[in-house]
Chain A
C-alpha cells in the first residue's frame, strides 16, 4: 500500500443493504424470491404500469430507524421521496424511487479496529430506495434477460465519508457495517445473495493534491472490497506516474481476474433529473415511535462484545463467536454462553469449547450438528468438574456428541463405553501403579535419589496401561505415597 509515500489514497464506501421485510418497499409482492421462478413476485407497481400507486411499507421505515440507531445516530423526523430518472431495461418505471433532499439518516459513525488501532468513519447519509430488477446476459446471444422479482426490494443505501486511507481499512469498515446491520436485525445479510453490495470510491492524491475518483460497483464480499481498492490504488498511481489523468468513471470488478474494468461513464447528478415523487407524501416520525423501536432493539453488537470481554475472552475469540453466531444462527452460541453464565456455570470454559471445537466443526459440516448443545455442554462441564473426564477427553466427548444424530440418554454411560472416563477409583490405579513400579526399578531409584523428573515417566506408564483412563493427579499422588511410605520399592 505504501509503495509510494507521495501518494495518499482516499476511500469512501456506499453500501446497499436489502431490508429484511416480508413484502416490497412500495408493493405487496413477496420480498423473498430465493426459491421463486423469475417474474413471479411481481405486480403492476413493480412493473411500473400506468396509474399504479406505490404505498410505503412501514416495516422498511422501522428497519431504517434501527439502522440509524446502530450507526449511533437518530433518524430524521422528516423525510421525503424523490424520483431519480435513468433508462435501463431493469428499471421499468424509467426512474428509481429514492430519497434525495431529505434522507431518513444524516450523520452517524462506524467504529472498528485495524491492526489494533481504533478507527472511526463518519456516515454522510443513508436513504431508503427501491432496488432494480436483475438482468442476465447469456453467452453467445444478442439479447439480455430481465427478472423483476428483485424490482422494488427495499434498500438502505449507506454513504460513508471519504475517510478511509487503505484497503485494509475499507475491508474492516465493510465488515463492521455488515455486523452492525446483522445484529440490529436490519437485513438477512447473506452476501452471496447480494443482500449487501458495496461500491467503493477510490482516489489517490499526489503531494497533497486531490485526485480524480473512480467508483467500483457491486462488490459482494469483504475480500473483493479489499482487493478492488488495492487494485484501484495501484492502477491510479500507475496512470499518474505515466503522465496521464485518472478518468472519473464507473468500473466493474472481475473477481476471476482480480481486476477492475471500465463500465460506463457515469451520468452527472443533473442528468438524473431528480424531482419530488408526487405519489409519495412526506414521512414524519413521532419521537415515541422512534423510542419504541429503540426499546425493542435486539442486543447490539457492542453489548455482546462487552459481555464476552467480561467473561475474560480475548479479541480473537470474541470476533469468532460474534461471526459464528450469525453464520450458524440456529446454534445460538451467544445466548448459550449467556445462559451458562447466568446459571453460574463456567461460561468461559463453554466459550472456549465453542471456539475450539464446536465452531470449527460447524464450519466443516456446514452447521449440521446435534442441536442439543445446552445438554451436551452442561453434562460435559459436570463430568469435568467431577474429575471423571480429563480435559483432553472432554474435547473428544464434545466432538463425538455434536456429531451424533440423537444424543444417548445417559451421556456418562456413553463416555464410559467409549473409554473416555478417567479412572478415579484408587484401588484400580494402585494395582497398576504397583505393577509399573515393579517393572521400572531404575526410575524408582532415580526418584529416591532426588530425580523428580522420573515421576513423569512413571505417570506416563500408568496412563498407557490404563488406556488413558487413570486420573493423572490421583496417579501422581499414589506414586508419591508408595515411594515415601513403602520400603519395598
Chain B
C-alpha cells in the first residue's frame, strides 16, 4: 500500500493553499493512501500499444475569428460575485 508521510500531506496542502488543522492532517494521512491505492488498481490494466485518450469528441480546430464579443452583460456584473472590491479591483489577501 502506498505510504504518505506527514510532510507529503503538508506539501500537498501547501500546493493547494489549504491551511490544515492537526486533526485534518491526521485523517488525510489515512484517506489519501486509500485513494492512491484505488488509482493503483487502474495501473494493473495493460495499456501497451494504446494511444492516450485526451479527447473523445473527435473534434479539431474549433476556433473563432479575432473580434470582440458582446456576451449580453456588463463586465461590472462579474464583480458582483467577488467577495470584496476596492477601486474596481478584486481585493485579496496580501501576496507579497
Binds A, one of B20-28, B33-41, B58-66: B58-66
| B50 is an interface residue with CB less than 8 A from chain A | no
Contact call A143/B93, Cβ cutoff below 8 A: yes
Whether A148 touches B90, Cβ cut-off 8 Å, given contacts A22-B67, A44-B71, is yes
Contact call B93/A42, Cβ cutoff below 8 A: no
Chain A: interface secondary structure? Answer: loop
Contact call B92/A143, Cβ cutoff below 8 A: yes
| A38 is an interface residue with CB less than 8 A from chain B | yes
Whether A283 touches B61, Cβ cut-off 8 Å, given contacts A23-B66, A87-B17, is yes
> What 1/0 mask marks residues of chain A from 114 to 145 whose CB sits below 8 Å from any chain B CB?
00000000000000000000011100011111
Contact call B90/A39, Cβ cutoff below 8 A: yes
| Separation of A280 and B62 alpha carbons in the complex (Å) | 8
Give chain B's interface residue range (CB within 8 Å of chain A). Answer: 35 or more
How many residues of chain A get a CB closer than 8 Å to chain B's CBs?
49
Contact call A28/B68, Cβ cutoff below 8 A: yes
| B6 is an interface residue with CB less than 8 A from chain A | no
| Separation of A27 and B67 alpha carbons in the complex (Å) | 9
Contact of A38 among B62, B65, B88, B96 (CB under 8 A): B88
Contact call A145/B60, Cβ cutoff below 8 A: no
| Separation of A252 and B14 alpha carbons in the complex (Å) | 21
Whether A284 touches B61, Cβ cut-off 8 Å, given contacts A23-B66, A28-B68, A87-B15, is yes
Contact call A29/B68, Cβ cutoff below 8 A: yes
| B1 is an interface residue with CB less than 8 A from chain A | no
Contact call A144/B94, Cβ cutoff below 8 A: yes
**Residues of chain A contacted by B92 (CB below 8 angstroms):** 89, 135, 143-146
| Separation of A120 and B41 alpha carbons in the complex (Å) | 50
Contact call B54/A23, Cβ cutoff below 8 A: no
| Separation of A475 and B41 alpha carbons in the complex (Å) | 102
**Residues of chain B contacted by A145 (CB below 8 angstroms):** 86-87, 89-92
Within 8 A of B (CB), among A87-131: 87-89
| B79 is an interface residue with CB less than 8 A from chain A | yes
Contact call A143/B68, Cβ cutoff below 8 A: no
Contact call A23/B69, Cβ cutoff below 8 A: yes
| B55 is an interface residue with CB less than 8 A from chain A | yes
| Separation of A49 and B82 alpha carbons in the complex (Å) | 11
Contact call A39/B71, Cβ cutoff below 8 A: no
Contact call A22/B66, Cβ cutoff below 8 A: yes
**Residues of chain A contacted by B90 (CB below 8 angstroms):** 39, 89, 145-148
Within 8 A of B (CB), among A275-323: 276, 278, 280-284
**Residues of chain B contacted by A57 (CB below 8 angstroms):** 63-64, 66
| Separation of A145 and B86 alpha carbons in the complex (Å) | 8
Q: What is the CB-to-nearest-CB distance from A256 to chain B, in angstroms, rounded to a whole number?
A: 16
Contact call A61/B75, Cβ cutoff below 8 A: no
| A203 is an interface residue with CB less than 8 A from chain B | no
CB closest residue in chain A, given B88? A38
| B78 is an interface residue with CB less than 8 A from chain A | yes
Contact call B66/A89, Cβ cutoff below 8 A: no
**Residues of chain A contacted by B68 (CB below 8 angstroms):** 22-23, 28-30
**Residues of chain A contacted by B15 (CB below 8 angstroms):** 86-87, 267, 271
Q: What is the CB-to-nearest-CB distance from A97 to chain B, in angstroms, rounded to a whole number?
A: 14
**Residues of chain A contacted by B66 (CB below 8 angstroms):** 21-23, 57-60
Contact call A281/B17, Cβ cutoff below 8 A: no
| B48 is an interface residue with CB less than 8 A from chain A | no
> What 1/0 mask marks residues of chain A from 16 to 56 whose CB sits below 8 Å from any chain B CB?
00000111000111100000011111111001010000011
**Residues of chain B contacted by A147 (CB below 8 angstroms):** 88-90
| Separation of A42 and B71 alpha carbons in the complex (Å) | 10
Greatest chain A CB density within 10 A among B60, B64, B89, B96 is at B89
**Residues of chain A contacted by B78 (CB below 8 angstroms):** 39, 42-44, 47, 49
Q: What is the CB-to-nearest-CB distance from B52 to chain A, in angstroms, rounded to a whole number?
A: 8
**Residues of chain B contacted by A29 (CB below 8 angstroms):** 68-69, 75
Contact call B57/A281, Cβ cutoff below 8 A: yes
Q: What is the CB-to-nearest-CB distance from A224 to chain B, in angstroms, rounded to a whole number?
A: 19
| Separation of A145 and B76 alpha carbons in the complex (Å) | 16
CB closest residue in chain B, given A38? B88
| Separation of A144 and B95 alpha carbons in the complex (Å) | 6
CB closest residue in chain B, given A88? B95
* A-B pairs with lowest CB-CB distance, top 6: A28-B69, A59-B66, A276-B54, A145-B89, A281-B59, A89-B92
8 A-B pairs (CB sep. < 8 Å)? A39-B78, A43-B78, A57-B64, A58-B64, A87-B16, A137-B96, A147-B88, A281-B59
